[in-house]
Chains A and B, each alone.
Chain A
Amino acid sequence: MKNLNFQVNLQGVIDLLSNHLYSEPGVFIRELLQNSVDAVTARKRLGHTFDETVKVEIFSSHTISFTDNGCGLTEEEIEQFLARIGGSAKREDQDSADDFIGQFGVGLLSCFVVSEEIVLITRSANEDAEPLEWRGKPDGTYSIKKLKRQVPVGTTVYLKAKPEFDDYFEYYRVSELLEKYGQYLPTPVMLIEEKYERTINESKPPWLMDKPEAMAYVEGIAYNKPLDIIPLTSVIGGVQGIAHILPYAVSLQDEKKHRVYLKNMLLSDRMTNILPPWAFFVNGIINTSSLRPTASREAFQENDLFFAVRDELGECIKRYLIELANRDADLFRRLVLIHYASIKTMAVEDDELYALFIRHLRFETSYGELTMAEILLDHRLVYVTTTLDEYRQVARVARAQELLVVNGGYVHDLDLVRKVTEIAEDVTVDILNTLEFANQFEELDLEDRLTVQPFIDQSDALLESFQCRSLVRWFEPADIPVLYNTNQDVNFFKLAEESEQRANELFADIVHVIRNDLYDTPYAKLCFNYNNPMVRKAMESNDPQLRKASIELFYTQALLLGNHPMGPAELRMMNDSLLQFMNRGLDGAEVAR
């Protein structure tokens, strides 16, 4: 038996890694910076003392160089670094010296995106190491030669731009990218062009700032003053950071853009998931030392550690909110006001935050818009509807009955209201059954009931084909003639009817079973208000034609007011009944004239 290796086309692999791993060409700057910083760290680990620096120099004809005085490379290490690519990510100890070599190679590959050749001059920090020059091409060929002249310990990388990437080698562009990625690096980074020289990273990282500094900093970059700054720390993730509370409302659908640094180097300025999804009222600026980056170093590996860190950061935000409620009631209220949707989502997800926020949340109720605190002040029994339509059907009447009904039709409101018993044990929350709602109204006395029965019978007969049943009660407010409640299943039933008629034999039979064995026929309810003068008048009429027209008018008006779709039969009914009244009225008027 012979063991063989796969033959891999090196050029293809380099192309794949360099052109498809990274999201934008500018990352070569970050990779070179990272290599320099890693080399400096590695040399420090050897116990050398030296003034660490990284120098980036811009030459004419679109060439740049990156120079560090880190540990440099030996010939053997150079031989290794391309061989180690791919092996690097799997090593357990990211900081080990071997790994530095592997990462170095991957980092260097990103340069092939913008450059046709990489020239590397290096002298290892090992004693008696000779200066070396390495030249590599994207087809995988390279040469190494020993240099005669002396060079200091460290590494310099020279790149010449491919024509289409010229602008990445211009002063302004390099400067911008260096600042973006490296402005908080601990090693001084100098940018040099001819005689002009400046240090890129003089500023203090935001995660080391105190609150006023951080506020000013965020205002500077975001052009508006944050509501407040929340300090973030995670011990297990080695995280320090700040979250600034946005001074304006954000949509739940918006992608979050947190700025995340790995050991002070910018990893991504648009990371979506380093904070929990409910925390969309803040933007984070975070530095971590122990999360593992992916191969492209543009995101983190989403392992258990990652999620543990995320939870820990979420805890920081939560603790801040709890503390804020006690410390600064005014700011707390503003926060609730601005980030209402976010807070609702949080409150549903988390019991502690629920207890903190629920009293401040506002609900649409039969008594107008109220906060939960206001609701709990006067009411021990709270009804909530499961849908908007149900709420609309009963709201006005409920108010007159002195019932507190909350509209649970908006996102999260039903869940928020149902949970209220967890913080107020003496309160009862019931889901309102609109169809049985009318049953609680005052019944008529026996005599009246007998009088109106023919009217109700007539109404039942007229509306049977619309699956609507009638009843009569005395209720407030008097200006509502009828209360019409649909059964929520009514549309589904029409749909099922359609299906049964159209479907093939097999499925018609199945739908038949669903309609008859799984559901009851849904009747809507039309409750006449005996307290309303129009209803009284119609009921007192002896003319069956007029009574018919009145019932039809009451019914169709109720449909119109409730926004219910009208079928052709119902439209015809409305027109006929109106015409009846018009005929009577107009004919009468003509006779009178």
Chain B
Amino acid sequence: MKNRYDELRRSSWSMPEGKQKLLVLEEMIRIADRYMTEEDAYNARTSYFAAAAEAGTQERMITAFAWCLAKYDQSPGSYSQHEIMWYYKWVIGMIWRFPVFRLEQIEAVFEDFKRRCIEYGYSLRTYYHKRSVYLLSRGLTQEATECYKQWRTASRDALADCRACEQNAFGHYLFSANQLKRGMQAVKPILDGKMVCRSIPQATYSEVMVPLLKLKQYEEAVAVGKKAFRTIKGPQFIEEQGVFLEFFTVTDLPKAVKIYNETIRYGLEYKPSWERFNYLLSVRLFLQEWHRKKRRKKLVEDGRVTLDWLEQEIASLADAFNRRNGDDYMLAYMTDKETHMSRMIEAFQQRVE
């Protein structure tokens, strides 16, 4: 069985991110669980984390993480504390994205993470960072702002994202809080090419496109769009792909069709989540524009993804979030998004005319 394990591991190295790779890693974990040491099983899971996140199945990452956290707690000497906390950071960034989890569960996870940060001597910077994003997704602007301040004042340490990623996260936060100009200021060093890492500036492009359109800086937006839409790929970025889909729906419909055809498969495979919700909102905007005219060209999955179906899916997701949050913020969120989009389409079309 060790042979099979090694063979699977070898083949996993050359695989692109996605379902096939996930299956291989899952089989490896199973083999490791049965026939190998606990350490092997632990390591097999840590290599699964990134693959699961990149395949757009964050719930699988959380599932495997739960096992590792338990093992870590049982024998903290055997495993890296920094590693487990690093992935824990991912978990608190993901968990609120699924409406199936109850608020108490989410709060308890945040609390547990915070407790560990204090206990292990980490700064609370990461905690406040992730928490502010979560609070904002629930429309709790005031609480989020409080968190944002704490995030920016807490000291940086080994648990924090790299500087470029954090700079991008500041931008993300400010854009989500609709502070567009401050957001643009925050990401300026990235757009000027002064901060780069493995995922920056690609990740920043999708952040700034809609704000640029909102700020009526059409030329800049189009330039960024052209540069950026090839740089992000794969199921992990479905929400970002949604942004591109919206953007090209407004500026260049054939490109939007291409993005739709390439990404809808991932969108459909996503479990009910924040990503799926936002992506489907983008798809709805695209389909509405698409169906304004009669078209000969057929879209991928056109039997399944109809406007009616989208209405239902979106409504049920919005409802799931509202039920979990105990309010009706998602309605405001959607209305807000729609108003912005229609204003943008209008403005852009006027510009073209």
Chain A interfacial positions (CB closer than 8 Å to B): 304, 307, 351, 386-389, 409, 411, 418, 421, 488, 491-492, 494-496, 498-500, 502-504, 506-511, 513-515, 517-518, 565, 567
Chain B interface size range: 35 or more
Stretch from B23-31, B153-161, B280-288 forming part of the interface with A: B23-31
Which residues of B are found within 8 Å of A507, using beta-carbon distances?
A: 65-66, 69-70
Chain B 10-33, CB within 8 Å of chain A: the 1/0 string?
000011100110010011011101
Docked-complex contact A495 and B26, CB < 8 angstroms: yes
The CB with the most chain B CB atoms within 10 A, among A307, A411, A507, is that of A507
B108 beta carbon closer than 8 Å to chain A:
yes
On whether A565 and B31 interact (CB within 8 A), knowing A386-B19, A387-B19, A510-B109, the answer reads yes
* Chain B residues numbered 259-305 whose CB sits less than 8 Å from any CB in chain A: 265, 271-272, 298, 300
B59 beta carbon closer than 8 Å to chain A:
yes
Docked-complex contact B98 and A518, CB < 8 angstroms: yes
Which residues of B are found within 8 Å of A508, using beta-carbon distances?
A: 66
A158 to B: closest C-beta gap in Å: 41
Which residues of B are found within 8 Å of A389, using beta-carbon distances?
A: 23
Q: Across the two chains, which residue of chain B brings its CB closest to A301? A: B193
Which residues of B are found within 8 Å of A495, using beta-carbon distances?
A: 26, 29-30, 33, 63-64, 67
A496 to B: closest C-beta gap in Å: 5
On whether A511 and B15 interact (CB within 8 A), knowing A387-B20, A389-B23, A409-B20, the answer reads no
Which residues of A are found within 8 Å of B100, using beta-carbon distances?
A: 513-514, 517-518
Docked-complex contact A499 and B20, CB < 8 angstroms: no
CA distance A509 to B62 in the complex (A): 12
Q: List 15 A-B contacts (CB under 8 A).
A: A387-B20, A389-B23, A418-B300, A495-B30, A495-B33, A498-B67, A499-B70, A502-B70, A503-B70, A504-B70, A510-B62, A513-B100, A514-B63, A518-B271, A565-B27
Q: Across the two chains, which residue of chain B brings its CB closest to A351? A: B258
CA distance A389 to B23 in the complex (A): 9
B34 beta carbon closer than 8 Å to chain A:
yes
Report the 3 A-B pairs with minimum CB-CB distance, sorted nearest first: A507-B66, A491-B26, A503-B66
Docked-complex contact B63 and A494, CB < 8 angstroms: no
B214 beta carbon closer than 8 Å to chain A:
no
Docked-complex contact B20 and A565, CB < 8 angstroms: no
B71 beta carbon closer than 8 Å to chain A:
yes
Docked-complex contact B20 and A496, CB < 8 angstroms: no
B299 to A: closest C-beta gap in Å: 11
Contact of B71 among A421, A500, A502, A513 (CB under 8 A): A502
Which residues of B are found within 8 Å of A418, using beta-carbon distances?
A: 265, 300
Which residues of A are found within 8 Å of B70, using beta-carbon distances?
A: 499, 502-504, 507
On whether A518 and B59 interact (CB within 8 A), knowing A503-B67, A507-B66, A513-B100, the answer reads yes
Contact of B64 among A307, A499, A518 (CB under 8 A): A499
B101 beta carbon closer than 8 Å to chain A:
yes
Docked-complex contact B23 and A488, CB < 8 angstroms: yes
Contact of B30 among A386, A513, A565 (CB under 8 A): A565
CA distance A513 to B106 in the complex (A): 12
On whether A499 and B66 interact (CB within 8 A), knowing A387-B23, A389-B23, A518-B59, the answer reads yes
Which residues of A are found within 8 Å of B66, using beta-carbon distances?
A: 499-500, 502-504, 507-508, 510-511
Chain B 161-186, CB within 8 Å of chain A: the 1/0 string?
00000000000000000000000000
CA distance A507 to B69 in the complex (A): 9
CA distance A514 to B95 in the complex (A): 11
Q: Across the two chains, which residue of chain A brings its CB closest to B100? A: A517
Interface residues of B, dominant DSSP: helix
Q: Across the two chains, which residue of chain A brings its CB closest to B60? A: A492
Which residues of A are found within 8 Å of B146, using beta-carbon distances?
A: none
B112 beta carbon closer than 8 Å to chain A:
yes
B66 to A: closest C-beta gap in Å: 4
CA distance A39 to B14 in the complex (A): 51
Docked-complex contact B34 and A565, CB < 8 angstroms: yes
Docked-complex contact B26 and A510, CB < 8 angstroms: no
The CB with the most chain A CB atoms within 10 A, among B16, B20, B60, is that of B20
CA distance A386 to B16 in the complex (A): 13
Which residues of B are found within 8 Å of A498, using beta-carbon distances?
A: 33, 67
The CB with the most chain B CB atoms within 10 A, among A411, A496, A498, A513, is that of A498
Q: Across the two chains, which residue of chain A brings its CB closest to B71? A: A502
Q: A388-B20, A418-B300, A500-B66 are in contact. List 6 more A-B contacts (CB 8 A).
A: A496-B63, A498-B67, A499-B64, A507-B70, A565-B30, A567-B34
Which residues of A are found within 8 Å of B19, using beta-carbon distances?
A: 386-387, 488
B43 beta carbon closer than 8 Å to chain A:
no
B195 to A: closest C-beta gap in Å: 15
Which residues of B are found within 8 Å of A510, using beta-carbon distances?
A: 62, 66, 95, 101, 105, 109
A264 to B: closest C-beta gap in Å: 29
Docked-complex contact B26 and A492, CB < 8 angstroms: yes
Contact of B1 among A386, A491, A565 (CB under 8 A): A565
CA distance A506 to B62 in the complex (A): 12
Which residues of A are found within 8 Å of B227, using beta-carbon distances?
A: 304, 307
B83 beta carbon closer than 8 Å to chain A:
no
CA distance A226 to B157 in the complex (A): 53
Docked-complex contact B20 and A386, CB < 8 angstroms: yes
On whether A411 and B16 interact (CB within 8 A), knowing A491-B29, A511-B63, A565-B34, the answer reads yes
Which residues of A are found within 8 Å of B101, using beta-carbon distances?
A: 510, 513
Docked-complex contact B62 and A514, CB < 8 angstroms: yes
CA distance A304 to B224 in the complex (A): 11
Which residues of A are found within 8 Å of B258, using beta-carbon distances?
A: 351
Which residues of A are found within 8 Å of B64, using beta-carbon distances?
A: 495, 499
B73 beta carbon closer than 8 Å to chain A:
yes
B72 to A: closest C-beta gap in Å: 10
Which residues of B are found within 8 Å of A565, using beta-carbon distances?
A: 1, 4, 27, 30-31, 34
Docked-complex contact A506 and B23, CB < 8 angstroms: no
CA distance A494 to B69 in the complex (A): 18
Which residues of B are found within 8 Å of A515, using beta-carbon distances?
A: 63
Chain B 130-167, CB within 8 Å of chain A: the 1/0 string?
00000000000000000000000000000000000000
A522 to B: closest C-beta gap in Å: 12
Which residues of B are found within 8 Å of A504, using beta-carbon distances?
A: 66, 69-70, 73
Q: Across the two chains, which residue of chain A brings its CB closest to B223? A: A304
A209 to B: closest C-beta gap in Å: 34
A467 to B: closest C-beta gap in Å: 14
CA distance A97 to B12 in the complex (A): 56
Docked-complex contact A494 and B23, CB < 8 angstroms: no
Which residues of B are found within 8 Å of A491, using beta-carbon distances?
A: 23, 26-27, 29-30
CA distance A496 to B258 in the complex (A): 36
CA distance A177 to B271 in the complex (A): 61
The CB with the most chain A CB atoms within 10 A, among B63, B67, B73, is that of B63
Which residues of A are found within 8 Å of B30, using beta-carbon distances?
A: 491, 494-495, 565
